[in-house]
A and B are shown apart, each in its own frame.
Chain A
Amino acid sequence: MLNQNSQGIFFMRIGIVLVVFWSFYTKGNGQSETSPNQNKFKHEIALNATNLLSNLFSLSNDNLSTPYTFVYRHRFTEKFGIHFGLGADLTREEDVLGGSNLVAKTVLYDARFGIDKIIPITNKLNFIVGLDAIAGNVKNSSSSTGFDLTTSSFKLGGGPAIRIQYHLNDRVVFMTEGLFYFIRTKGQREEIDPNTGIALFTNTSHRFTIAEPKALFIGFKF
């Protein structure tokens, strides 16, 4: 049964790939003289579709992505624009039945803002050099029968970014990015023990990272 299922998934993925292939092929065949008008629309909303597409195309379980799920981009002129990115996660778990009364919460958000200089490479492809500022916060807390543990970290930073943007047509855009970020992270850990009281630890770290392209965004212009 399992084997039949995996065969079904396999053939479904092949089908999807073939449909994509066919749509690209017919597009190349039929519209060779037309190219997308990149300047027709000024607004763009993009979503991180890395995991969606990788799940469709590949059987690999690797999860390679960035925290910014949602991106809004605005182009002021042909060669200058701004963008705003946001990612958030909020979870709460309770384990009352286990007898421990364990409550665990995670609050996470990441935001970034940046300016873009757009360099057209072809009529469909843009190279974008940008400068980003980022901020983010993660807070994990768990409590059980009087014991509390909270860890949190706040990060602030920024740096240059390089983006590659491919226009499928006037409205649909694919984009990926390489990031060169300096990040300062301030972390805090608070432990509450009914017997010993409160213990607080803090630390600060600085990091410079060059991140390879990890995400594929699908954008829609309007």
Chain B
Amino acid sequence: MMKMKFKVSFWIVAMLLFCAQRNFAQAVDTLTQKQQSQDLPYPWSKKKEVALNVTNLAKLFVPLNFSNVTNQDVILKTKWYFKKVALRIDFGADLDLNDELSPDGFYLAIGYERRRAIYKDKWFYTTGWSGVITGNENDGVIGVLKHFGMEYNLHPSVTLGTDTGLLFGVFTDDFNLKLVSPTSLFLQMRF
């Protein structure tokens, strides 16, 4: 029974993704055509992008997903693309601002990013470097992150993406190196 449930849920998720993609893809609409009329090297050149972390929200709607809601470090990503390179800021915070500033969670990364196509203007990867300050009640990190991302275009202006990276810096007391695994799903809009 479990095996069958897994198979069914896999196909349902595949169908929903196909469906979402189709619904967005047919909408290469007048608005987007108007926006793409400029003569620039990439469709995302000179555009702003905002991405929201939708991991926990998406999790609620996936059939047979029993995993619990997880704490997310980065809630918002913003990118300002120049011709080829973007200034990127990742941000997340839950701060108690009483007598003693005690972060339940804080994340700030500022850096640059490049994006390249992998397959048919649908799949992209991003890479870049960021300076990172992050911390919570117990520990903190100041370091540098080499980040890699994978994105799927639902629409020329709407992307689903995730990120991974190699973080090295001072972890509370010691110098350390950490591979940040991809755990978050971002819905990104370009305008």
Contacts and interface: CB of A to CB of B under 8 A. Distances in A.
22 contacts: A10-B5, A13-B63, A17-B63, A21-B15, A35-B27, A57-B61, A58-B59, A59-B65, A59-B66, A62-B56, A119-B191, A121-B158, A125-B155, A205-B97, A209-B94, A209-B95, A210-B92, A210-B93, A210-B94, A211-B75, A212-B75, A213-B54
Interface in A3-58: 7, 10, 13-14, 17-18, 21, 24-25, 27-28, 32, 35, 50, 53-54, 57-58
A124 B27 contact: yes
Interface string A53-86: 1100111101010000000000000000000000
Interface in B124-164: 155, 157-158
Most buried by A among B20, B55, B93: B93
A62 B60 contact: yes
Contacts of A127: 50, 189, 191
A120 B117 CA distance: 25
A64 B56 contact: yes
B147 to A, nearest CB: 19
Contacts of B76: 162, 178, 180, 210
Contacts of B60: 50, 53-54, 57-58, 60, 62, 64
B19 A176 contact: no
Contacts of A92: none
A13 B16 CA distance: 14
Contacts of A17: 12, 15-16, 63
Nearest to A57: B61
B65 A122 contact: no
Contact of B29 (A123, A164, A206): A123
Interface string B38-74: 0000000000001011111101111111111100100
Nearest 3 A/B pairs, CB to CB = A54-B60, A206-B97, A123-B29
Interface of B: 1, 5, 8, 12, 15-16, 19-20, 22-24, 26-27, 29-32, 50, 52-57, 59-69, 72, 75-76, 91-98, 155, 157-158, 187, 189-191
- Interface size class of chain A, counting residues whose CB lies under 8 Å from the partner chain: 35 or more
Contact of B52 (A120, A178, A208, A209): A178
A215 B157 CA distance: 23
A205 B76 CA distance: 25
Contact of B57 (A24, A120, A180, A214): A214
B63 A14 contact: yes
Contact of A122 (B53, B61, B158): B158
